[in-house]
Amino acid sequence: MGWYDLFAPLYDASVERLYAPYRALAAERLALVPGLRVLDAGCGTGQSFDVLCPAVGPTGLVLGVDRSGGMLARARRRAAGKGFENVRLLRSAVEALDREALAEHLEDGLGVDRVLDFLCAPAVDDWRAGFGRLWSLLEPGGTMVIVTAHADRLGLQGRMVNLTAQADIRRRVWEALEEVAEAFELERREASWEIGGDMCLARGRKPG
């Protein structure tokens, strides 16, 4: 059993109030319209589904991928409870994703139109490899949004966040996107001290 399997029952109650405001901002940057296919990387308990599912509608699809079965079980319950019928879930490490892994849910063998990485990359063991896999699944012309907490230097709270999220918020995870994307944008917002750093929202388009 992994850390996030243990954390899953407490996750929403302990941290969601801190990150909720950034979900709508992320959805805005993804420029969602009905019919799009969105990959929610490290979807956790599915908190982003609320802003993703209604926006892509019944002709679209939200594919939540997470390594933790415990987090995914909550995501499944959340989707069912909210009546989100356009959610598909896949248990996998992002570093292991490829079109074959997605084939069960994306039967046409194509990739996705949008990728959302909301607080996932700081927790991924090999985050650059994970980014590479996610980028390879994005169709040309598609958009990726990365939302992350970031601190160049860790204070006490930053260390606590790293410990409880099994993450490293010193990573400049948007830089991988900046290297390959066109129309790259980064916004840094001062956030609650509880987050341990600033909140950064990055967006970039895959050339195509």
Ligand X SMILES: C[S@@+](CC[C@H](N)C(=O)[O-])C[C@H]1O[C@@H](n2cnc3c(N)ncnc32)[C@H](O)[C@@H]1O
Instruction: Find the length of the chain.
Output: 208
Q: Nearest-CB residue to ligand X?
A: 44
The backbone torsions φ and ψ at residue 41, rounded to the nearest 5 degrees and listed phi first, read -80, 125
Contact indicator for 196, 160 with CB cutoff of 8 Å: yes
Contact indicator for 57, 35 with CB cutoff of 8 Å: yes
Tokens of 45: 């308990």
Report in angstroms how near the CB of residue 207 gets to ligand X at its nearest. Answer: 26
Report in angstroms how near the CB of residue 142 gets to ligand X at its nearest. Answer: 19
Report in angstroms how near the CB of residue 164 gets to ligand X at its nearest. Answer: 9
Binding site residues, ligand X, CB under 6 A:
4, 42-44, 47-48, 66-68, 71, 93-95, 118-120, 123-125, 130, 165
**β-strand pairing of 37-41 with 112-118:** parallel
Report in angstroms how near the CB of residue 160 gets to ligand X at its nearest. Answer: 14
Contact indicator for 90, 112 with CB cutoff of 8 Å: no
Contact indicator for 122, 164 with CB cutoff of 8 Å: no
Closest to ligand X by CB, 93 or 177: 93
Using CA atoms, how far apart are residues 63 and 61, in angstroms rounded to an integer? 6
Tokens of 57: 């509608």
Using CA atoms, how far apart are residues 22 and 200, in angstroms rounded to an integer? 9
Element at 202 (helix H, strand E): strand 198-205
Report in angstroms how near the CB of residue 5 gets to ligand X at its nearest. Answer: 8
Closest to ligand X by CB, 4 or 174: 4
Closest to ligand X by CB, 93 or 144: 93
Closest to ligand X by CB, 16 or 183: 16
Closest to ligand X by CB, 116 or 181: 116
Closest to ligand X by CB, 59 or 192: 192
Cross-sheet strand order for the sheet of 87-91: 87-91, 61-66, 37-41, 112-118, 138-150, 198-205, 182-189
Report in angstroms how near the CB of residue 155 gets to ligand X at its nearest. Answer: 19
